[in-house]
Amino acid sequence: MREVAIIAYAQTPLVRDCGAKNDVELVMEVVNAVKHQVGFTNQDLDFFCSGSCDYLGGSAFAFVNALDALGAVPPINESHVEMDAAWALYEAWLKIQTGHANTALVYGFGKCSQGDLPDVLTLQLDPYYTQPLWPDSISLAALQARALLDAGKITEEDMARVVQKSRRNAKSKPGTQLKGDYTIEQLLAEPKLVSPLRKHDCPPVTDGASAVILATREVAEKFHKRNAYITGIDHRIEAHQLGSRNLIDSMSTRIAGEAAGVAKGKVDIAELHTPFSYQELLVKQALGLGDDTVINASGGPLAGNIMMSAGLSNFGEVAMRIIKGEANRGVAHATSGPCLQQNLVAVLEGK
């Protein structure tokens, strides 16, 4: 297995509405930033892969227009997944394992302010039995939260603590959308949006983009004394119908975590793509993370959730902290689909 490191990371500010920036202008910002961090031009990059969703902007080929941001002249080796860009990173990681590439630039973008996100996500659901009823993404998450509360696995205070931690951590990272100091009492005093979830238990709508550069050890060692290597990466999917899934567990996260080798050592930090507060508790438990793991030091998706790129951002957040020596070993997680139907887990280690 070839050792692959994340040597550069960039993310746009997390904002409710990036206004005059179109997809290309968002992607240019992060693609040129990561190239600049390591002095790469397209000649130094063997593969490009991205993740996005056409429906966010209501145009059939959003990712085609974004290609302008890459300067793909002469032509480049490039692919695209209509999933969170964390799966684009997985495709690039596989490409490097085949030997067809030693370096790769992976990016994702989502200008979510354009559409009505909870309704757009309804189109992910079974087109015959479920989508025609228009259950929005918040309503579905509320069903899972209720099941966890009923099973005594979480309490409303637990959920408030996750939000409190996210808002506090978000203060330390520039460009986060929602930050500040709140007491548990203040949070619990808020009205329910869709019971049992309050508005702050739900992810904000965020415009943005992020990018990383992957490189084999031989290349990575030129840039950092200490690099963040992917030592394990795996992803799994669960059944689609909520009514035939065990909602108080995250089976796919557990299998992916075992396959990625999360338990093989102490986990100093973890960036979990858990857009709803209760999901951080569920994913933490499924990965077997202890209280000694700092979770979502960046504030996580509750502080700003770039649809289609929040999962990729987690890889960058963990890698940069390892490179800076703030941690030795970390976990990056990404999710896709309603109520954590599909999950990707990676372990990064400093060497």
Restricting to residues 259-298, which ones interact with other proteins according to CB under 8 A? none
Q: How far apart are CA 285 and CA 261, in angstroms?
A: 15
Select from 3-11, 107-115, 153-161, 310-318 the region that touches other proteins (CB under 8 A).
Answer: 107-115
How many chain residues interact with other proteins (CB under 8 A)? 110
Q: How far is the CB of 141 from other proteins (least distance, A)?
A: 9
d(CA 89, CA 345): 12
Question: At closest approach, how far in Å is the CB of 267 from other proteins?
Answer: 22
| Residues 145-204 close enough to bind other proteins by CB under 8 A | 145-147, 150, 191-197
**Please, what is the minimum distance in Å from the beta carbon of residue 308 to other proteins?**
10
Is 42 or 285 the residue whose CB approaches other proteins more closely? 42
Q: Given candidates 155, 180, 183, 243, which one binds other proteins under the rule CB under 8 A? A: 243
Q: Select from 3-11, 19-27, 176-184, 312-320 the region that touches other proteins (CB under 8 A).
A: 19-27
127 binds other proteins (CB under 8 A): yes
Contact pattern for other proteins over residues 60 through 79, marking x by CB under 8 A: xx-xxx-xxxxxxxxxxxxx
d(CA 297, CA 326): 11
34 or 170: CB nearest other proteins: 34
Neighbour tally for 285: CB within 10 Å: 16
Distance CA 133, CA 285 (A): 32
Q: Which stretch binds other proteins (CB under 8 A): 94-102, 174-182, 212-220, 314-322?
A: 94-102
* String of DSSP letters for 216-245: EHHHHTTT-SS-EEEEEEEEEE--S-GGGS
Amino acid symbol at 117: L
Q: Which listed residue (134, 171, 180, 264) binds other proteins by CB under 8 A?
A: 134
Task: Please pick, from the candidates 144, 176, 227, 335, the single residue that binds other proteins as defined by CB under 8 A.
Answer: 144
Which of 264, 203, 189, 211 is closest to 234 using CA atoms? Answer: 264
Q: Which stretch binds other proteins (CB under 8 A): 111-119, 155-163, 178-186, 310-318?
A: 111-119
**By CB under 8 A, residue 1 contacts other proteins:** yes
Among 12, 102, 114, 314, binds other proteins (CB under 8 A): 114
Query: Which class for 41: exposed (0-12), middle (13-18), buried (19 or more C-beta within 10 A)?
Result: exposed
- The distance of closest approach from Cβ of residue 3 to other proteins in the complex, given in angstroms and rounded to an integer, is 14
Chain mean position to CA 170: 16
Which residue among 11, 103, 122, 298 contacts other proteins (CB under 8 A)? 122
Give how far Cα 146 sits from Cα of 156, 163, 213, 243, Å: 10, 17, 40, 14
- Report if residue 82 touches other proteins, rule: CB under 8 A: yes
Judged by beta carbon, residue 63 or residue 229, the one nearer other proteins is 63
**E strand or H helix at 40:** none
User: Phi then psi for 30, rounded to 5 degrees?
Assistant: -80, -35
67 to each of 1, 40, 51, 108, how far by Cα in Å? Answer: 31, 18, 12, 12
**119 makes contact with other proteins (CB under 8 A):** yes
Judge whether 340 and 252 are in contact, CB under 8 Å.
Answer: yes
In whole angstroms, how far apart are CA 243 and each of 15, 140, 238, 320, 339? 35, 11, 12, 40, 12
* Shortest reach from residue 299's CB to other proteins, in Å: 26
